[in-house]
Amino acid sequence: MSLATINTVVESVIDRVERAEFLDGPADKVAGLVNKWLKPGPIKDVLSGTGTGHPAHPIIVLLPLGSWASAFYLDVAAPNSDGTAARRLINLGNLTAVPTVLTGLSEWADTQGAERRVGLVHAALNLTAIALFTGSSIARSGNARRTGVVTAALGMAAVSASGWLGGHLAYARGVGTDTTAFEVPPADWTDVAGEDEVSDKPIGVDAGGVAVLLIRANGEIRALSDRCTHRGGPLHEGTIEDGCVVCPWHGSRFQLTDGQVARGPATRPQRTFEVRTVNGRIEIRPSDDPGSLRSEPVTGADARR
């Protein structure tokens, strides 16, 4: 079977999962419970990775995956050893799976629709893998090493399938990615509103196809990207608290002065804009960007090369 055929089969499976509306009932119930117990605040920030600037789940997942994969390697490469090292690695994987599950649950609870359905299957496969590796550890402790090796191999299969779904969520669906990463506002000063339209209540305006929030705070007009970097919530519909705008979707707070994250679950700051007033009109332009595909997208003739 060619790689292209395998890819077609896999894509068709993922498409079915993404459209499986019957998963919405259980998924929404579990996500509701997670969100009931895990409100925006310090614990959610830790589980989200807010302080590190990147989601925590893809980082911490290396611990159980690395431990289990190393144990699997030892089972294959050193079948005649006494198995102590492999058993210890499996136990380490099982232990570190606990915080990994918590970070995943936190991130997943803020998804919707197809992402939430795929995330539910991803989680179910992970729980299956954890159960198999736990069984492997118990079997090895009871001197049933052969059973332990087989259950660990099944665990590796489950966690590999789950990892593929996790990759799909991150790279195809953009879960965990800054939702403004590919927004390209006009580089030059752009007229967006009349000065008298801007007050201490945030408003949303358009700058060449990019949504921007405008507000007057402490006598100065501030302009931030209106699309929340977390999952894209419209910030101008949020509230203002302590010099921050609070996202109406999951409660992330961004400082009005510089767009920095004051509270998660967001991990990335909001883009900010320079503001000037010309003849009673507000003009904005992006603050400095070091240059990337984000600021210099390939278009037109370049794209066809």
Q: Quick one: which segment of 128-136, 140-148, 155-163, 249-257 binds ligand FES (CB under 6 A)?
A: 249-257
Interface with ligand FES (CB under 6 A), residue from 58, 104, 233, 286:
233
Q: Which stretch binds ligand FES (CB under 6 A): 145-153, 212-220, 225-233, 279-287?
A: 225-233
- Residue placing its CB nearer to ligand FES in the complex, 152 or 266: 266
| Residues 6+ positions from 105 with CB-CB distance below 8 Å | 34, 38, 47, 123
Which x/- pattern, by CB under 6 A, does the window 86-125 give for ligand FES? Answer: ------------------------x---------------
**78 token code pair:** 């050193």
CB within 8 Å of 199: residues ≥ 6 apart: 215, 216
Instruction: Tell me the number of residues near ligand FES by CB under 6 A.
Output: 13
249-259: b (≥16 Cβ within 10 Å) or e: bbbbbbbbeeb
CA 128, CA 154: separation in Å to the nearest integer? 9
Cβ proximity to ligand FES, 24 vs 237, nearer residue: 237
Q: How far is the CB of 178 from ligand FES (least distance, A)?
A: 11
Instruction: Choose the binding region for ligand FES from 20-28, 63-71, 85-93, 230-238 (rule: CB under 6 A).
Output: 230-238
User: Which amino acid makes up residue 19?
Assistant: R
Among 72, 108, 133, 249, binds ligand FES (CB under 6 A): 249
- Site for ligand FES contains 231 (CB under 6 A): yes
What lies within 8 Å, CB to CB, of 214 at 6+ separation is: 192, 193, 197, 198, 202, 203, 204, 205, 221, 222, 223, 282
Residue 212: which of 235, 230, 232 has the closest Cα? 235
Number of other residues whose CB lies within 10 A of the CB of residue 38 = 18
Binding site for ligand FES (CB under 6 A): 110, 228, 230-233, 247, 249-252, 265-266
